[in-house]
Structure formats: structure tokens, C-alpha cells
Chains A and B, each alone.
Chain A
Amino acid sequence: MRYKNLGRLLKIGTLLFTWGLICTVLLQIVCRFSWLQTPSWTEEASRLFFIYAMSFAAGLAMKNDFYVHLDMFYNYLGKKVKKVLEIAIPLFSLLLFLTMALFSVKFIVLGIPEKSPSMGFNMGIAFFSMFIMSISISYYLWVKIARTIKKQRL
């Protein structure tokens, strides 16, 4: 249930921020070619939408195995080694992303006193995207480990 809900949340987040990105850039273009004055915040807003869209989609990319890897040497490895690697790879990756999530919190705190140049929001909001990215990837890595252990036990 939690697995489905998180997936749904990430999908909604990705789509919302993608449409946000499209609309903001369009607004920038429309204003430039009309009598309206181009708002100063469009570039910053589109960058924010982009980073958030990427952060939400990064977890989904993990869920659907979108990250490319090198297969060449793996095929020469023995069955036992492959079995160990099935858990070791997501485990070490999980360690990396959990550490990143932890330090993302520090990064957010560091950004709170800072203000974005044109929109004036606190930069902690922008830096929060890194937390979403690392925690969503971590979650799907954890799911992968749990499923592999379950499969290997069976």
C-alpha cells in the first residue's frame, strides 16, 4: 500500500512540476513577444520546477530501472557472485543515498537564511529537492533489497 502511494505521489509530483516548467517557459516566451513585460522570476521559477520534476522522477526512474549500467563483465561472473551482487549493489547504493539524504538536511538548513535572487523565497525550499531525490531513490533501493532477499529465500 505504502509502495503504491509513494509511487502515486512521485508521479503526481513529476507531472505537476513538468507542467509548471512548460507553463513558466511558455509565459516567458509569450510575454517577450507581446506587449506584456516579461516577469523577472520566470527563469528562476522554471529552474525550480525542473529540479523538483527531476527529483520526483529520479525515484520513479529507480523503480523502473532507468539507470544505465555496464553489463560486459557481469556476464562472466559466477552464479554465487551474482547472487551476492544482487543485494550488495542496491545496499551500497542505499548507503550512498541515505548519506546524501542526511546531508541534504544540513544543506536545507544552510539554505534557509539565503533568499533566491528574483523570487525571494528561501533557498531551503529549493535545496529540499535534493532530499526528495535521495530519499525516494533510497526507498526504491530498499524495496529492491527486500524483494531480492524474499526471492532468494524462496
Chain B
Amino acid sequence: MIWILVVVFIVCLVLRFPIAFALGLACFCYLLAKGIPLIIVPMKMYSGIDVFVLLSVPGFIMAGNLMNQGGLTEKIITFCNHLLGHIRGGLSLVNIGASMLFAGISGTAISDTASMGSILIPAMKKEGYDADFSCAVTAASSTVGPIIPPSVPMIIAATLSGLSVGKLFLAGALPGLMLGIGLMITAYIISRRRKYPKHRRSSLKEISRGFVDTFWALLMTFIILYGIIGGIFTPTEASIIAVVYALIIGKFVYKKLNYKKVQVVLLDSMKTSASLMVLVGFANLFGYILITEQIPQSISNGILGLTTNKYAVLLLINLLLIVVGTFMETLAALLILFPILLKVAVGVDVDPIHFSVIAVLNLIIGLTTPPVGVCLFVASSIGKVSIGAVSKAGLPFLLVRVLVLILVTLFPAISLALPILFMD
């Protein structure tokens, strides 16, 4: 009977049903065919959403959007420009550096591409950077968002596995940093070859003024991380603290938020979160069906029947996740595949925290690869360049991400060092 679930899901996906609805319809058909009472649909939907940690998802999305509306993006860009603008290809480095700082606030890649891209892509084009390169850098740099804490995919992974959100946040920090630095080196090499411009070196006064301007935003990241890691707040509490903090800073320090703007930001953030939660709810039902059909065990036995070599299994999982991540939205893929593959990974003694980082890294690679690379679409529409051209210009950055993925897969210490150091 499980074929009904799989076939209906794939057909619905291909026909462009929303992914959440495709999951729901597939489950619906399966339940009808099996004669299972349909009351299980609202039941599983409710129990899937009624998880305390998930409350932090709208919190972090709201905080990021409030900070963005509060005029933070421009301030982060200015600060990074003072720091990195004097290096060859300065604006491309600013793009990546600003994304790394912004990642500490937003936690999602698309908002990063849209907010950074709308300012930096036109600015880069104006300074003589190729349009496809400008878009490719913006799309690539925004993928550090979902791995640098606070990260929405990590919260979802924690919900699915029962792992500590704080540990997962910390586990993503070093790989995120490696990713950012790797992207910067690549952008610098390309910029030198193409002789892209550089700005004059900023004075110490300008740098310190830029730091003071962004200080409040950076402090928010610190409060979130220190609060969670120090055991002062739960992730949900940290996300609400971040919302209140962003409201205060946006209203009284940056003076850009008013009542109307706040309501619009809250509504938009809740709509984004609700579309995720419908997906989470149906994924919970989908997961329940898979478990009752013992699919995770079958897949686990199938893979482990092929090989029990830890690295061979991780290679297979990486290949599968990269392919899936290329076609499917990050969180949807995570919700469907993570619980199944975690079982396989644990079966070959892979640390669940290490595996969570691998899974998220794999899936964020898909954010900038055609055909479904959402960041690619956003960046190319801002820069008015074809997806093909941006994908081609983005190839060196894609290689960097694959390299970081290989390193993170082979060396668990990259993911586990910080959680062990601060939380064990």
C-alpha cells in the first residue's frame, strides 16, 4: 500500500501542488485505501505543530524581519564596506561578510538574498562587476544563513530528533564560518582575475562608527546564543527576547519602525511560519505512516545491507540529499528525509549532531542549484540576468560548498568541537 503514498506524492509534486498539500493528499489517499479513520489527519496535524521548540520558528523569522525593516541591512553593509571594501573585489566580499552577520539575525536564506541583493546587486553592477557574478555571489553568500545560528533548519532538525537546539546551533557555527571564508577567498580570486574595483581604505574612525551602528544588531546574536548556550533561556524564549529587542532597537535606536510597519512585519512573518507549520503538520502524518509501514527500518536495512562502512554510508546519504535538495525545498526535504536517514546514520555510529549539520549543509547546497534553487531565482530576478548565466557564474561557489561539505563529513570535530566545548 505504501506505493500509493509515494506515487500520489510524486505526481502531485510534478503537477505543481504546494509541497505541503502534496504530502497531505498522498497521506489522504493512503488512509482511504487502508481504511484508516480520517480523524487521524487533524490529530497528527495538531500533534505535529504542538511542540514547544517550534514556537521559536516564527520568533526568529519575526526578529529578522523586524531588524531588516528597522534599517539594519544598510548599516551591516556599511560596516562591512569599511572593513573589507579596500580589498580587490571589495563589494563581493562585503556581500559575503554582510550575509554572515545578517545570518546571525535572520536564520533564513531567502530573506537574506532579497534584502542584501536589492541593495548590493545594483551597487555592484554600477561599480562595473558583471551582473551574473553579482547575482551568483549574492545567492551563494545567503546560503550561510541557514547554517550560522540561529538557524531555522536546525530548529526543525532538533524537533525531529529531540536533540538540543543549543547544541545544533553551535554545531553549525564553525561549518558556517568555513563556508563564509571559503566563499570570500573564491570571490577574491575571481575579482583579482577580472580586475574588479576596490575602495579606498576606511579610517579607524569610520570603522568604529560602523561598528557602533551595527553594535545593537550584533548584540542581538550574542544575546540569543549566550542565552541558549548559557541555559538562561530556552530557544523559544530566546526568539521572543529577540523579537522584543528588535522592536525596541528598531523603534528607539534606529527610529525606523512604526505601528503600521510592525503589524505588516508580524503578519508577513506569521504567514511564512504558517506555511511552514502546515508542512510540519502533514510531514508528521507522513512520518507516522512511514513508521507504521516500517519504512525507515527497511531503508536503513537496505543501505546497511549494501555496506556498513561509515564513510560509504555517509557518501550515499550525501549524494541522495544533494539530489533531493536540488529538487525540493530545504525544510520540506528535511522534514521528510531527516528522520529516516538519521536512523541509518546512527546505525553506523555517526553522531546525531554531526549528521544534522551534514544534512542541513547538503540541503542548503540545493538553494543555489537549478532547477529549484530559490536563492538563485530571487538573485537573478533582482539582477535581471538569466538563471542559466547566474548558475554558470555560481559554479566556483558551488565547488566551495561541496568542499566544505566533504570536510564536515570527514571530520566530525568541525561540527562537534563547539557543542562539546560549551555544552557538555
Contacts and interface: CB of A to CB of B under 8 A. Distances in A.
A104 B275 CA distance: 19
Contacts of A51: 46, 49-50
B20 interface: yes
A56 to B, nearest CB: 8
A47 interface: yes
Interface residues of A, number: 54
Given A61-B271, A69-B16, A69-B19, A25 B55 contact: yes
Contact of A47 (B45, B50, B237): B50
B28 A99 contact: yes
B10 to A, nearest CB: 10
Given A73-B14, A130-B45, A134-B42, A46 B244 contact: no
Given A54-B49, A72-B371, A73-B14, A66 B267 contact: no
A107 interface: yes
A73 B22 CA distance: 15
A14 B267 contact: yes
Nearest to B370: A72
A67 B236 contact: no
B54 interface: yes
A125 B19 CA distance: 29
A71 B372 contact: yes
Interface string B171-185: 000000000000000
A53 to B, nearest CB: 6
B21 A93 contact: yes
Contacts, number: 163
Interface string A70-106: 1111100000000001001100110010011001101
Nearest to A33: B232
A43 B263 CA distance: 24
A109 B14 CA distance: 37
A68 interface: yes
Interface in B345-392: 371-372, 374
Of A11, A55, A70, A93, the most chain B CB neighbours within 10 A belong to A70
A72 B372 contact: yes
Contacts of A60: 267, 270-271, 274
Nearest to B227: A29
Nearest to A17: B270
Nearest to B20: A67
Contact of A67 (B21, B49, B58): B21
B50 A70 contact: no
A61 B241 contact: no
B38 interface: yes
A70 B328 contact: yes
Interface string A103-132: 110110010000000000000001101110
A148 interface: no
B417 to A, nearest CB: 30
Given A58-B277, A60-B267, A103-B39, A71 B371 contact: yes
B278 A22 contact: no
Contacts of B119: none
11 contacts: A15-B266, A21-B240, A29-B233, A43-B52, A46-B236, A51-B46, A53-B274, A58-B277, A70-B13, A71-B372, A96-B24
Interface of A: 11, 14-15, 18, 21-22, 25-26, 28-29, 43, 46-47, 50-51, 53-58, 60-61, 64, 66-74, 85, 88-89, 92-93, 96, 99-100, 103-104, 106-107, 110, 126-127, 129-131, 133-134, 137
